[in-house]
Structure 1
């Protein structure tokens, strides 16, 4: 959880990212997005498919080049990093992917997969030391010694994701981007993986950017939450502010889609529709702070309306 005195680890300012620039099918994937992520916190990023969540996560690792704005990690602009600086950054910032099957090399044993991470971290070549380190990584994610000699296809989806987490941990990162890490897993396994991530964060002082469309799970794990729609950040605040005092109509629509655990309440539950046509009216909208730490994308008139709703 975030410490009030924590420093900024990741600072994204006015990030714009365009695919197929200059072509007929040019698309603004991200537009003027700004977020800060503090050491030790989990920043949740939510939005429907195509909203730009994964694009932002990949841009934060410089897997995509931005069209405008800046991304700083530990005070350094990652887009200005030279080869050696970039390699050092990549050892401190890792990604856990949505599909564990696709992200693991099926021709390698688990030991070899984790060994690649150790190579990247410059770990000694001594066989016995490496064997002990691989076993340590496996134990950290709830796997055992027998799993080291097996291949990815021999594991369940949840186990594969644990291997992916262990691989990310091999380089001793400070920052992990978890890109929908539970969406491909059975519901019964999802909570186990989320609890593992929370434990690892506590034990190793990790900072997470947690990307998901399951808002209930994001609320459980996140300190602060950003809501993306059509590549724009429309609301940002603490988990409590966003879930209990949502302001933007898109956020309200997302929250209304979360099913009620009580069957009686669920029967009467109605999902709020969202009409995005007002976003195309040509008016300039900026992030306005409605209360401490709680921002919403709005015109001055809309901001006054949201304030009235708050009261």
Structure 2
């Protein structure tokens, strides 16, 4: 049975304790609490530093077998060395994530300077990844979205490696000027690229950026809820990550997106109910 995974860009956030996570929860228990709300998470921290294997073991212990990790390849591999002389770093990364490897996606996020002329290097890199691991690639060079030849070049390379193309849909966010400090920060940092909706594998991944406004965010994802419902009917198992500039409501939004899709696909398995958050006490 196809499954829909939904999640956020992180499993802990300053606005979540007391709302989505218990107050004063130890760091080693926060993922467990988050997993009561969502069944997937973006592993952005692995971009900056490879965790220890012991740390990843705690991730495995805090989540069930159906929880999905989309783990970003370290930036030393993708951004600094551009796949050159990275054997040591990749061996260390793959060894570290082994405790969750059977439910992880290896996510290669590339800088906007990585263009069509670099696809051959990407192809070689993807071919060297473990054959039994899911792979996904996110590109930000405009040519991949606007030039048909560049699009085909990348799609062909991903097809050979059985890798998914991860779209980061910011089109709704950039429809109107920012209205808050968080939106202003995102306005300066997030990529402005056309929306891409074509799935290449049985496990498509979507990153969607809404607004601080819940209403605008929900309205903007309607095309995605219909598309994801279609993917499920085709037998695909997609993963959708809900972002907003401040991410204050992200876990609730992820569940709401799942509910919207389930309204279109009634036999879709519901998410588990999160544990109730105990109110803060004085003593």
Q: For this structure pair, what is the TM-score category when the shorter chain's length is used for normalisation?
A: 0.3 to 0.5
TM-score by length of 1: 0.36
Q: Which has the higher contact order (CA 8 A, sep 6+)?
A: 2
- Point out the structure with the larger strand share: 1
Greater C-alpha Rg:
1
